[in-house]
Amino acid sequence: MLSEKVTCNSHGQDSSYFLGWEEYEKNPYDEVKNPKGIIQMGLAENQLSFDLLELWLENNPQPTAFRNRSNQSVFKELALFQDYHGLPAFKNALVRFMSEIRGNKVSFDPNNLVLTAGATSANETLMFCLANPGDAFLLPTPYYPGFDRDLKWRTGAEIVPIHCSSLNGFRITKSALEEAYKQAEKQNLKVKGILVTNPSNPLGTSLTMHELDILVNFISSQNIHLISDEIYSGTVFSSPSFISIMEVLKTRNLMNTEISKRVHIVYSLSKDLGLPGFRIGAIYSNDERVVCAATKMSSFGLVSSQTQYLLSEILSDQKFTKIYLSENRRRLKQRYERLVKGLKRSGISCLKSNSGLFCWVDMRHLLNSNTFESEMELWKKIVYEVGLNISPGSSCHCGEPGWFRVCFANMSEETLDIAMQRVKSFVDSMATENNQIFRQKSMNLHSRRTKSLPKWVFELSFHQREVSADER
C-alpha cells in the first residue's frame, strides 16, 4: 500500500554509522549519572566555541527578542509570509562570511546563492538539478556516510566510488578518477559529475592545488559537473591552508566560462559555527538556471526568517566573526593534538590532517585479519566493551579495513581524556590476551615437539616474546 520510496532500503539508515548512534542513545555516557555509558565520538559536531556565540547573544539581546538595532519590533515582519529568495541582509552577510573564510581571495555574488535547510538539503537539491534518476556522481572514498541518503534516496541518482588509497594518504589521482569513470560506464551509468568534500569528512584533510587541478581538468575534458561541499572550510586549523574551488577557477582565469557554470559549492553553518540545529545551508552556483531551479526547490526546506534574521546580525558583526574564526581554529587544533597524543600513548596513529572535527584513525594492527568482518568485530568491541561510539571506515566506503573516524569536538576535554584512558586499557588488555594465547600455543607446540629440551629454553623463549610484545 506504500510507495517504493518508503519500502526500498536505499536510505542507508542500516549503516553502522547510524547504528552506532542508536547504541549511544540507549546508553549515553554522563560523568555523574552514567559514568560507564558510551561516549559519543561518532558525531561531527563542533561544541568548542559555543561560549563565544553565547557571549555575543548576551551582548546583543535585540535579535532574539525580535528587535532591530533601534530597538523596534521586527516580529510582524519576520512572522509574515516569506518568499523563497531569502532575506537580502542574510544573504549579503553569508557571502561576506564565506569570503572571509577564504582569506578574501574570492568574492561571492549573493544573487548566485540559494538558501537551504542545511547542507543535507543543498546536496540533494543539487542532485535534483544535475542528475536524472539512474545518473551517477563519482565520489572519492572514504566519504561522509550521509551521502548515501542525501544524494541517492529520493533522487534515484547513483554514487560510484573513486577508490583512494592509504598508500598516498587517500589523495585523489587522475588514474583513480579515470578508473571510477570506466566503472560507471561498465555499469551503464551516465556520469553527470564528481562530488568532493573539501576539507574531507572523514579524512580531516583539505584538497591540494594539484588535486583541485586534476578535478577541474577532468570535469572539463568529460563535460561534467563538480560539486564542492565546503561545509568544513572554516575548520582548517593548520597548514596547508584551505583552497576553495572558487580560488582555482579564479587563478586559472576560468571565471564566467562554461566550466565555471558546471562548478557548484555547498556550504552550511552546521560545522564552522556549530549550529546544525538551526538548519542553515546554501548552494552557490555560477549557472543561473541551476540557481533558478534550486530556488524554486528550496520551498521544500526553507530557513526560517527568524533564524536568517539572527544570523544576519551575528555574521555582519565583522569584529566578532574575525575573533570567532581564529579562536575556533585555535581550539580545534588544540583538541586535535590532544586526541592524536592520547591515541599515540596506546600505539595508535592517525592520518596527518589539518581540518575538520575528527581524525582518521589507523587501527589496522588491531584487526584479527585484514577483512571488513574483522573491522566490524573490532568496532563492536569498541562500542560495547570499551564504550566508545566511533565510525568504522566501511561505513564511509573506505576500501581498506581497519580505519575509523573518531570525532573530537563534541565533548569536553575531560570526556576526551576518559575516552583515551578506555582505549589504553583496551589495547593493553588485547596485548595481554595475545601474549597468553601465544604462550598457550607455544606450550602446546613445545610439549609436543621438544619434550626432551631443558626447562631454561622454554623460559627464554617466553621471555623474548614478552619483551618484543612490550616494545611494540
Ligand X SMILES: Cc1ncc(COP(=O)(O)O)c(C=O)c1O
Kindly list the catalytic residues.
144, 229, 231, 271
Q: Which of 197, 308, 328, 395 binds ligand X (CB under 6 A)?
A: 197
Q: Which of 145, 144, 157 is nearest to 198 (CA)?
A: 144
The number of helix segments (H) and strand segments (E) in the chain equals: 17, 13
Shortest reach from residue 378's CB to ligand X, in Å: 23
Which of 229/400 has CB closer to ligand X?
229
Q: Report the site for ligand X in 213-252 (rule: CB under 6 A).
A: 229, 231
270 binds ligand X (CB under 6 A): yes
Binding mask 139-158 for ligand X (x = CB under 6 A): -----x-x------------
The residues near 292 (Cβ < 8 Å, ≥ 6 apart) are: none
12 binds ligand X (CB under 6 A): no
For the chain, the residue count is 472
Say if residues 118 and 370 touch (Cβ distance below 8 Å): no
Which of 268/328 has CB closer to ligand X?
268
- The span from the CA of 212 to the CA of 210, in Å, is 5
118 binds ligand X (CB under 6 A): yes
Handedness of CA 315, 318, 324, 329 (dihedral sign): positive
Nine-digit cell string for 431: 596485548
Shortest reach from residue 229's CB to ligand X, in Å: 5
Phi, psi angles (nearest 5°) of residue 453: -70, 145
Which of 112/268 has CB closer to ligand X?
268
Nearest to ligand X by Cβ — which residue? 118
Count of other CB atoms within 10 angstroms of residue 301: 17
44 binds ligand X (CB under 6 A): yes
Is residue 142 reached through a cis peptide bond, with omega within 30 degrees of 0 on the bond before it? yes
201 binds ligand X (CB under 6 A): yes
- Specify the stretch interacting with ligand X by CB under 6 A; choose among 117-125, 131-139, 419-427, 445-453: 117-125
C-alpha distances in Å from residue 443, one per residue of 9, 18, 412, 438, 464: 51, 44, 47, 8, 14
Shortest reach from residue 225's CB to ligand X, in Å: 17
Fill in the amino acid letter for 140: P
- Specify the stretch interacting with ligand X by CB under 6 A; choose among 46-54, 115-123, 237-245, 420-428: 115-123
Q: Which of 276, 267, 270, 278 is nearest to 310 (CA)?
A: 278
Shortest reach from residue 257's CB to ligand X, in Å: 27
Q: Which of 39, 119, 265, 388 binds ligand X (CB under 6 A)?
A: 119
Which of 195/348 has CB closer to ligand X?
195
Which of 20/342 has CB closer to ligand X?
20
120 binds ligand X (CB under 6 A): yes
Three-state DSSP state, 140: strand
Task: List the beta bridge partners of residue 227.
Answer: 195, 264
Q: Which of 281, 342, 393, 401 binds ligand X (CB under 6 A)?
A: 281
Fill in the amino acid letter for 147: F
Which of 189/303 has CB closer to ligand X?
303
38 binds ligand X (CB under 6 A): no
- Measured in Å, how far apart are the chain's first and last C-alpha atoms? 59
Which of 356/387 has CB closer to ligand X?
356
Which chain residues interact with ligand X by CB under 6 A?
44, 118-120, 144, 146, 197, 201, 229, 231, 268, 270, 276, 281
